[in-house]
Amino acid sequence: MMRRIAVLDAPTNLGLRPPTATSVPGCAKAPGALRDHGLLARLRARDAGCLTSPRYDPGDWRPGDGVCHASEISGYSVALADRIGAIIDRGEFPLVLGGDCSVLLGSALAMHRLGEAVGGRIGLVFVDGHSDFRHPGNASYVGAAAGEDLALVTGRGQADLAAIEGRRPYFRDIDVVVLGIRAQDEYRLDLQAAGITTRPVPALRAQGAARTAQWAHEQLADCAGYWVHIDVDVLDPAVMPAVDAPDPGGIAFAELEILLAGLVDTPHCLGVELTVFDPDYDPDGSYAAEIVNTVVSGLAPVSAPAAMPPRLLPATPAPPSPRRGNGRPQPSRPVAPAPVVTPAPAVAVEPIGPVAEEATSTDDAPPIQSAGPEPVGPRASAGPGLLRRVAPPEEEVVAGREPVEPPASAGPVPVRRTSPEAEPASEPGDDASPGPSAGIA
């Protein structure tokens, strides 16, 4: 059974600074521009509507006043979390169209509520050209939530954004994987000190997009599922200049497509958000068309006939996994070649082979040899609250090797939540260091 995609517009620009003294950021127009290129029809997605953003008005904000539009962003994040939670409760796959990166606060709040409901932790795969890790502990002042969003969702910053509904942090540092930042990112050492796993562009390209997606799965093996954040400024300005803070050294559209397909090709992926595209810098719509092509191809595994919804299981006692490096459980080596699993006829992604850990990652485990692409799922020794597929009765699990998910013919796996209702959400974050026309900072 395939998962139906539900597209929700979140056209907020509250997290950015004005491009000029008399204009507002254009990323609020992104959902409409992408819809104009047939995104919903091509995805065969349900239209989940639009969550209208409050008015953009910095007023007399000055450095030292905290995050601009903080009250409006907080309220918007709670409403967005409600909408995302409702989509997931229907068994659908949310695709949230931002807007700036402050939409991550609403998504993070929804994921924290979900994790609490199922008795497990939800992780974050943060695909972005910038770390967005500015916070009061490493900067003289804060201002633009879209340049501070990762810091906020990991509990750093003012409480009205970082602790909405008393939830703090929305994502634990060890449950975050950052992909696509530039090698010289301003806050790369802060990420390393926090224990947040990163793979900058040079390492991502050296390992390949498909292997990087597989590697990200493995870093979040202890989580019940994960959310994917994609800021299109992860792309190189040569192919995607229509963003508020273009930064050379990014990836290509083909790499983003392969990476996205690899990240969503598992029931553990709970949803995706797309941010920062600014149609004001795309007068002929050519960049919007490229984004739509990439998203449609990248999300093909979600709606493929063999795709299955996640099964959220309550926490069960299990022996602790061995921990090394930054404290993340290390995947165990298979004792025999993994059985070949026929992938769904979706996007042609490069096969996932041995995963070689790159130098800048905080994980120091040796490479894992595998006999072929293998779906990523919770391990037999996984910790509490894991999102697991139930293996068919006839499948025998070999000691030391991951259970293999049921073949496509095994049919859909239902979604089950252990808590009747989810709690309120937590707080938002901010964006990378601004470029020529970046957010308030």
Query: What is the Cα–Cα distance from 102 to 166, expressed in whole angstroms?
Result: 19
pLDDT at residue number 309: 56
pLDDT at residue number 365: 45
User: Nearest to residue 407, comparing CAs of 394, 393, 392, 396?
Assistant: 392
Query: What is the Cα–Cα distance from 92 to 229, expressed in whole angstroms?
Result: 17
Q: Is residue 330 a part of any domain in this protein?
A: no
pLDDT at residue number 312: 53
Q: Is residue 407 a part of any domain in this protein?
A: no
| Section 46-51 average pLDDT | 98
Between 353 and 39, name the one with better pLDDT. Answer: 39
Query: What is the Cα–Cα distance from 198 to 180, expressed in whole angstroms?
Result: 8
Range of the domain at 187: 5-309+422-431
Q: Is residue 399 a part of any domain in this protein?
A: no
Q: Is residue 89 a part of any domain in this protein?
A: yes
Q: Is residue 377 a part of any domain in this protein?
A: no
Q: What is the pLDDT of residues 370-424, one digit of tens each?
A: 444 444 444 433 333 444 444 444 444 444 444 444 444 444 444 444 444 444 4
User: Nearest to residue 202, comparing CAs of 223, 188, 218?
Assistant: 188
Q: Is residue 373 a part of any domain in this protein?
A: no
Q: Is residue 402 a part of any domain in this protein?
A: no
* pLDDT at residue 190 tops 80: yes
Q: What is the CATH number of the domain that holds 106?
A: 3.40.800.10
Q: Is residue 149 a part of any domain in this protein?
A: yes
Query: What is the Cα–Cα distance from 80 to 68, expressed in whole angstroms?
Result: 19
| Number of domains composing the chain | 1
The proportion of the chain whose per-residue pLDDT surpasses 90, expressed as a percent, equals 66
11 within 8 A of 54, measured Cβ to Cβ: no
Q: What is the pLDDT of residues 74-113, one digit of tens each?
A: 999 999 999 999 999 999 999 999 999 999 999 999 999 9
Q: What global pTM score does this model have?
A: 0.72
* pLDDT at residue 162 tops 50: yes
